[in-house]
Amino acid sequence: MCGIVGVSGRADACEVLVEGLRRLEYRGYDSAGVCGAGLDGAMAGERAAGKVSALAAKLAARGGLAGMSGIAHTRWATHGAAEERNAHPHRAGRVALVHNGIIENHAALKAELMAAGRTFQSDTDSEVVAHLFDAALDVHADPHDAWRAVVGRLQGAFALAAVSESAPGLVFGARKAAPLLAALGNGTGYIASDAMALPEDAATIIYLEDGDTVVAGPGSADVRDAQGRPAQRKQAAGPGVFGRVDKGPFRHFMEKEIHEQPEVVGRTLAAYLDLAGGAVNLPAAVDFAAMNRLLIVGCGTAAYAGMVARYWFESLAGLPTEVDIASEFRYRDPAFAKGDAALFISQSGETADTLEALRLCKAAGLITIALTNTPHSTMAREADIVLPTLAGPEIGVASTKAFTCQLAALAVAAGAQRERMDAQAVQAAIADLSAAPRLMGEALNLRQGVDALALDLARSDIVLFLGRNSLYPLALEGALKLKEISYIHAEGYAAGELKHGPIALIEEGVAVIVLAPMDALFDKTRSSIEQVRARGARVIAVADPEAAAALDGQSALTFVTPAAGRLAAPIVMAVAVQLIAYLTAVHKGTDVDQPRNLAKSVTVE
């Protein structure tokens, strides 16, 4: 989604800003822009539709931008097409401004500003804020007062950054229901929507809270709360040079992240399992034994991780569990009962709908748990309990290693405290899970075979994924992965649901990928295979060795994943569906890490 960088107090401000935009590219965007401001306040900017490289080329053609401070932005279009005139920064009089989010009362504000004689250049909701700030600078002697007056008039969700000719060297920021942080280092002040955008010398990060405004100067950050009082906010060390991530020998971040999984899943498991002592180490505050019902909420892949976990929580722990996608949950007036607790799954910890669902549950008095890959995220700060996943930064828009780390942590959590399993069953579950990293490593060897299939799939118009039990959500995840990055129409179904409609899609040659482990439901899965095969489908099975042998001749192609227990099976088979999606997208030549229209972190509704 949109990205913001602001800098104050560096002679190379423009270069730092553009480099920050490059580091934010993974978030997904469709235009970019920058504005530099000199010590005398004089401002100059450039904007471009498309990639940051297009902006950089325009800047190079004009010999760069001078300035000791400035702001920059990558835009993911909400109001107005992805064109240069809608790209940020927006200029109004003495002001340049960038915005993430949506200004809900923009129409009323625009009408008021137009009545006062102001004219608009873009179709965005953001431009009104630039005009409001310019107008407020006429009224307030102190620019921070002017800025706070503007922010107080805005409704909706926003992160903002602005510079003004009237306040040379200062960068103004504000945050409400959208991420924004300030940072300090080496005589410089920074503002950013994501710590990834910060340069190495940003030694201290200051996490702004909703309602905060900030004015960053060279080496300073004046943070005020919603009432205008000076505010001390949580601080952390900046990412530094070790926080940087690159692709290493891989072509794409997604490819690298798929291959990192044995290591990061192992690391996540080690955080929750004492393998030597055969014990589970959950934070003391987590008490699944005290819960009567667990509500799991997330979006996209995170919600699918929750769906897999539902099978585990219910069958291993006997804990009634419901899973909801956050955008539905938060608006459906959910009914709560005594003993309910809520678990929110989010790689970024910033997804707008999941965050609001968390706030809703907290306000209703539920214990809230955030399972997140981003320890300083808003969800991590606001939840009662945090369960970290240790996947490391995930840059590819299509989630891979965050998903399998979520599964690993959820598998440990399920049943850990409910005493439904005897000591032997606990040891068996721990052994099952502990094997997952090694088995994922073996599953990566499928790559060569999958590549040949991917060449064919790249020419398909439709691909179906089928699974049962905890592999049903993995069928949904496989289809999501494929459609996200290859743009092929893919759907996932519970295999038993086929006859209730989806089987009408089957005709000669349609690819049906069936997740078929040798489990208690194998015979039913095999009969689904027969039903689609009888109608001309090309069946591709993802099966463990025993299931592969039993399927002999029934699938056109079988990828044999290593034998795994019931907890490890979805984690291991995830590698196969990720490789299928990744290699198909590579054959199609799509932008794998930044697929069209998608954002890594969906911070607006």
CB of 82 to ligand M6R, least distance (A): 19
378 binds ligand M6R (CB under 6 A): no
555 binds ligand M6R (CB under 6 A): no
Count of residues in contact with ligand M6R, rule CB under 6 A: 16
Site for ligand M6R in 248-307 (CB under 6 A): 299-302
The token duo for 261 is 């999984």
CB 433 within 8 A of CB 411: yes
Q: What angle is formed at CA 406 by the lines to CA 401 and CA 408, rounded to 5 degrees?
A: 95
Catalytic residue among 110, 256, 481, 600: 600
CB of 351 to ligand M6R, least distance (A): 3
100 binds ligand M6R (CB under 6 A): no
Nearest residue (CB) to ligand M6R, 43 versus 77: 77
Nearest residue (CB) to ligand M6R, 23 versus 110: 23
Nearest residue (CB) to ligand M6R, 124 versus 351: 351
Q: Which residue's structure tokens are 């691909």?
A: 463
Q: Identify whether 176 is a catalytic site residue.
A: no
174 binds ligand M6R (CB under 6 A): no
**Among 296, 601, 603, 604, which residue interacts with ligand M6R (rule: CB under 6 A)?**
601
Q: Identify whether 299 is a catalytic site residue.
A: no
CB 443 within 8 A of CB 562: yes
Rounded Cα–Cα distance for residues 423 and 456 (Å): 48
434 binds ligand M6R (CB under 6 A): no
CB of 484 to ligand M6R, least distance (A): 6
CB of 462 to ligand M6R, least distance (A): 20
Rounded Cα–Cα distance for residues 458 and 440 (Å): 25
389 binds ligand M6R (CB under 6 A): no
**Among 351, 389, 561, 584, which residue interacts with ligand M6R (rule: CB under 6 A)?**
351
Exposure string for 377-400, b = 16+ CB within 10 A, e = fewer: bbbbebbbbbbbbbbbbbbbbbbb
The kind and range of the H/E element at 274 are strand 273-274
DSSP character for 225?
Answer: -
CB of 301 to ligand M6R, least distance (A): 3
368 binds ligand M6R (CB under 6 A): no
Partners of 156 in beta bridges: 103
The token duo for 22 is 């490059």
Nearest residue (CB) to ligand M6R, 147 versus 329: 329
Of 310, 351, 314, give the one whose Cα is nearest residue 330.
351
The kind and range of the H/E element at 271 are helix 261-272
Cα 428 to the center of its chain, rounded Å: 33
- Asked if the peptide bond before residue 218 counts as cis, ω within 30 degrees of 0, the response is no
**Among 171, 398, 551, 567, which residue interacts with ligand M6R (rule: CB under 6 A)?**
398
Alpha-carbon distances, residue 327 vs 297, 343, 369, 491 (angstroms): 9, 15, 18, 20
Q: Which stretch binds ligand M6R (CB under 6 A): 74-82, 178-186, 346-354, 570-578?
A: 346-354
CB of 261 to ligand M6R, least distance (A): 14
Q: Which stretch binds ligand M6R (CB under 6 A): 99-107, 220-228, 342-350, 491-499?
A: 342-350
391 binds ligand M6R (CB under 6 A): no
Rounded Cα–Cα distance for residues 339 and 287 (Å): 11
CB of 305 to ligand M6R, least distance (A): 9
**According to the 3-state scheme, what is the secondary structure of 556-597?**
CEEEECCCCCCCHHHHHHHHHHHHHHHHHHHHHCCCCCCCCC
**Among 382, 484, 519, 593, which residue interacts with ligand M6R (rule: CB under 6 A)?**
484
- Rounded to 5 degrees, what are φ and ψ at 351? -60, 125
Question: Which residues would be at the binding site for ligand M6R (CB under 6 A)?
Answer: 299-302, 346-348, 351, 354, 397-399, 480, 484, 601-602
By annotation, the residues acting in catalysis are 2, 600
